[in-house]
Amino acid sequence: MDDLGRTPARVSTGTLPGRDDVERLVDDAYRYGLASRDGEIATYIPRLAQADPELFGVSVAEVDGAVHTAGDADAVFSIQSISKAFVYALVCEELGHETVRERVGVNNTGLAFNSVVAIELNDGHPMNPMVNAGAIATTALVPAASAEERWARIQHGLSAFAGRRLELDGEVYTSEADTNQRNRAIGTLLQAYGRIDADPLAAVDVYTRQCSLLVSAADLAVMGATLADGGVNPVTGERVVSPAVARDTLAVLASTGLYERSGEWLFEIGLPGKSGVAGGIVTISPGKGGIGVFSPRLDSAGNSVRGQRATRFLSRALGLDVFASEAHEHGPYPYTREMGSA
Ligand code: GLN
């Protein structure tokens, strides 16, 4: 128990259905997701507009290391905003819960991921690490003597979550770096408010690189499963972050992972998740596993439409919704104190 009493004395989560059932339900989720052709590909980063809109992959990684896949689960795409969740975890591991909460915050802005208005409305506070302002501020907090070292640490850390070395998509990086005036403005605004100590444009550049790392839906499932497994990658066995940091990251994702749609997501799916504009979504079921999905067509907030469908299917079919319960079977009613002591 730490001095804040945050470390839970007991952890209670439950288990997934058997492996064969999970395997079958991943296929069913893929078919369910495939039925939708709604949404639009992101075009504000020019290179993303060239994505194949038909690509669709679904994966579940269990905390025992089993990985299930359907469709284009090995197709790679840029991780984009999903990187924010894992960089946040790495920074919490280095600096601790309180520092990151004070500097970056944990509350939803209710506004789009790239909002400048949100910064102004909150006296320069970036509010949370899952919007661009908070993510740039978080990246700037990665302890390093130079931007190159900061980038190397992030690439290494995200690779540890995935269990394989993640590579940069140079074309996506260049395309975003050439067109990210808005993110540069956000970085400079944070500096004006004294919210960023490092060179803000260098921090935005590292942030742009972290967003350009290539992952597959199967990678996202393993990355999610690492957060579901108390911070240990269930495939490689490497401890990436502490159980407390894994828990903190999921708590932040629950309220902020899907931008201004986070409330709707939690209401429909009942799990922490994080989306990115290339069409990936990672979802975490604490103690059970991670779900990774990829499909480039997005809703108006920038969240994959097929990805949301497949994830909602899996949350229900695998019994993952953290808010769902069934009446405990006991009897006879009414319950009496004597029954409890029997
Ligand atoms: N790199 C993207 C940006 O900063 C990430 C946005 C996202 O995935 N929502 O605009």
If one compares 234 and 128, the residue with the highest pLDDT of the two is 234
Domain count, the chain: 1
Ligand 1 atom with the smallest distance to the CA of 113 is 9
| Owning domain of residue 242 | 14-317
Determine, yes or no, domain membership for 340.
no
Q: Using CA atoms, how far apart are residues 128 and 115, in angstroms rounded to an integer?
A: 12
Cα–ligand 1 centroid distance for 81 (angstroms): 5
Average pLDDT (7-36) is 92
Per-residue pLDDT of 186-235, as tens digits, reads: 999 999 999 998 899 999 999 999 999 999 999 999 999 999 999 999 99
Torsions phi, psi of 217, nearest 5? -60, -40
Instruction: Identify the pLDDT of residue 106.
Output: 83
Atom from ligand 1 closest to the CA of residue 302: 9
Site residues for ligand 1, CB cut-off 6 Å = 80-81, 113-114, 132, 176, 183, 211, 276-277, 302
Is residue 109's pLDDT more than 80?
yes
Is residue 115 predicted with pLDDT exceeding 50?
Answer: yes
Among 58-72, 121-135, 280-294, the minimum mean pLDDT is found in: 121-135
End-to-end CA distance of the chain: 32
Atom of ligand 1 nearest to the CA of 276: 8
Q: Which two tokens stand for residue 256?
A: 């902020």
Report percent pLDDT > 90 for the chain.
Answer: 80
Q: Are 40 and 301 contacting, i.e. CB atoms less than 8 angstroms apart? A: no
Q: Rounded mean pLDDT of 68-91?
A: 98
Confidence of residue 1 (pLDDT cuts 50, 70, 90): very low
What are the tokens at 102?
A: 């004070």
> Residue 335 carries which DSSP code?
P
Question: Which of 84, 132, 265 is the best mutation target for the ligand 1 pocket, counting ligand atoms within 8 Å of the beta carbon and taking the most?
Answer: 132
Contacts of 86 (CB under 8 A, 6+ apart): 157, 158, 161, 223
How many A from CA of 208 to the centre of ligand 1? Answer: 8
Distance 139 CA to ligand 1 centre (A): 14
Residue 332 lies in a domain: no
The verdict on residue 301 lying in a domain is yes
Comparing C-alpha atoms, which of 133, 105, 117 is closest to residue 190?
133
Q: What is the CATH number of the domain that holds 45?
A: 3.40.710.10
Contact criterion met (CB below 8 Å) for 128 and 101: no
Is 342 a member of any domain? no
* 9 inside domain: no
**pTM of the full predicted structure?**
0.95
Contacts of 146 (CB under 8 A, 6+ apart): none
- The closest alpha carbon to 213, from 256, 147, 149, 161, belongs to 161
Any domain includes 326: no
Question: Does position 34 have pLDDT exceeding 90, yes or no?
Answer: yes
Determine, yes or no, domain membership for 1: no
- For residue 333, is it within any domain? no
280 confidence band (pLDDT: 50, 70, 90): very high
Q: How many helices (H) and strands (E) does the chain have?
A: 14, 7
